[in-house]
Amino acid sequence: MKKEEERSEEEILDQLQQVARENSNGDPIMEEVLFLHLLYNWGKGRNPWTPRIAEAHVDVVDGVKFWRVGHNASHEFYAGTDGSGRRFRYSIGESCRVDMDGNPIVFDEEGFPVVLPGFDRSVEEVANFHGYYGHH
């Protein structure tokens, strides 16, 4: 039974990789992003034999498109690319820079909050997509 399960998982991963490849327009970074997105959807219980790629979730930085690849209790995680071979991570969630009532506790030089009350956002270019992307 274990061998059959392993084969089945291998077949699923191959299927998801093929769908990512077919939808990447030959862009290897986009293929990585879409594969992570498909893995996330499979982890949420979606049928891997009929994989579905959602529309890009957010367009945050000069044409960088992001797809959701993970979440945990307080944050959502996204991976993206600008189509020129660059990789980006984006996360949004509850802020650690607010007090118990949701009021900002970190301000810029002029006294304005550095984040919207209750939210942290982070966008960064990365060399690879290794690391933590939340629980699926």
Number of structural domains (the chain) is 1
Read off the pLDDT of each residue in 31-42 and give the average, rounded to a whole number: 92
- Domain limits for position 30: 2-126
Rounded distance between C-alpha atoms, residue 5 and residue 104, angstroms: 49
Asked whether residue 136 is domain-assigned, the answer is no
Asked whether residue 134 is domain-assigned, the answer is no
Asked whether residue 133 is domain-assigned, the answer is no
Residue 30's nearest CA partner among 46, 17, 43, 44 is 17
Structure token digits, residue 39:
């893995």
Give the pLDDT confidence of 44-75 residue by residue, as tens digits. Answer: 666 766 777 887 876 666 789 999 998 888 78
Asked whether residue 29 is domain-assigned, the answer is yes
Residue 99's nearest CA partner among 80, 83, 113 is 113
Rounded distance between C-alpha atoms, residue 59 and residue 136, angstroms: 23
Asked whether residue 14 is domain-assigned, the answer is yes
Asked whether residue 64 is domain-assigned, the answer is yes
pTM of the model: 0.75
